[in-house]
Amino acid sequence: MQFLSPIALLLFAILPIVASILNHEQDKRQLIAGGVETGGAVDYAVIIQHDGSFVCGGVLIANDIVLTAAECKASVIDSYEILVGVYDRTEVPPVTQSVVKELVHPDYDFLNQDNDIMLLKLNESIVGYDFIEMNDDPEVPMDHGMLNYTGWGIMEDSEEFSNVLRTVEIVYVPRDECYDSLTNAGLEAPSESDLCTFAFFKGGCDGDIGGPLILDRDGTPLLVGILSQPFQCGELFAPPQFSMRMSSFVGWINYSICYDLRDSGEEYDFCADVTVPVAAPSVSPAPSSPIVSQMPDSSTTYIASYIYSKYLFVVSLMLIASLISLS
């Protein structure tokens, strides 16, 4: 009778452990950007298409103005299609609009996605759908408060865009804690106009870009950001994500609507209070030294698990490869 070598026995002992780890993480992976179905259309959540193809999410911030990410810009303005009142993308949208004007933030940086924001003026005002209020308070959201992304982005278990509108709950992380965590993990640091969020193995993904980041105020939604950088949403362990912080851009947005996009005779309620140009938010450099702060247990656990899990996965594969070569 031929017996297995000690190395082969060790290999068989390790394989179930590794398989268990991978299966456990795959279950978590399926939650990335998946969230839950909203159950119906959301008035302010719109779809942006280029020549009939789904590209990004967007937010209705006035009757005829959509806010989205600058990276969602079409090559020609005639190719835009803005779909309003949509729940299921496979059904005929209640409202379809074209775009007559577009305005990208003047300091948008394509390489690092700073100031990743753009305004689209629709060919007609939307009737029967409510636009959303934008946050202008830099103290909002509260530290470690709960927020929601909404969109039709990729569901990790299918690697396809969702047909129906979905929402996912995530946590707001203050900039100093976000900077500390990301730089210590060797990841990109946030700028002043970035809003940092995380959740365990879920969040926004491709297709959710430009869509709304919402704070629920006793049932009333407040727009606190739009998704810009869904880092590594297709990997097993996704780091925190960046959105454009509304309080950093609301001045530019209001001025641009009132002075650059408004047609003669057109009225917006807030334009009476907009009298002088508001300087575009500059991209502030990261602090010269990390800010030492006490992070909540969930944040600390997230970063630790992010690094440790990848380390464990790689080490396990290396160990298996070594055992196979020796046997």
Q: What is the pLDDT of residues 204-250, one digit of tens each?
A: 787 889 999 999 998 999 999 999 876 556 454 556 678 899 999 99
Residue range 14-37: average pLDDT? 45
pLDDT above 80 for 251:
yes
Residue range 173-184: average pLDDT? 83
Cα distances from 83 to residues 22, 58, 240, 246, in angstroms, run 39, 10, 29, 23
265: left (phi over 0), alpha (psi -120 to 50) or beta: left
Q: What is the pLDDT of residues 53-101, one digit of tens each?
A: 999 999 999 999 999 999 999 999 999 999 999 999 999 999 999 999 9
Q: Where are the domains of the chain?
A: 6-30+304-326, 36-295
Confidence label for 199 from pLDDT (cuts 50, 70 and 90): confident
Residue range 291-308: average pLDDT? 38
Cβ-based neighbours of 207, under 8 Å, separated by 6 or more: 54, 55, 56, 57, 151, 152, 153, 154, 161, 162
Residue range 277-281: average pLDDT? 49
Q: Which amino acid is at 299?
A: S
The model's pTM: 0.74
Range with lowest mean pLDDT among 122-131, 184-193, 202-211, 306-315: 306-315
Cα–Cα nearest to 105, from 8, 230, 228, 1:
228
pLDDT above 60 for 29:
no
Of 119-128, 180-189, 311-320, where does the model show the most confidence? 119-128
Q: Write down the pLDDT at residue 85.
A: 96
Q: From CA 4, how far away is CA 268, in angstroms rounded?
A: 79
Q: From CA 173, how far away is CA 171, in angstroms rounded?
A: 6
Q: What is the SS3 assignment for 303?
A: helix
Q: Write down the pLDDT at residue 30.
A: 32
Q: From CA 110, how far away is CA 327, in angstroms rounded?
A: 51
Backbone angles phi, psi at 129, to 5 degrees: -130, 135
Reported CATH class of domain 36-295: mainly beta
Of 19-28, 63-72, 262-271, where does the model show the most confidence? 63-72
Does residue 211 or residue 23 have the better pLDDT? 211
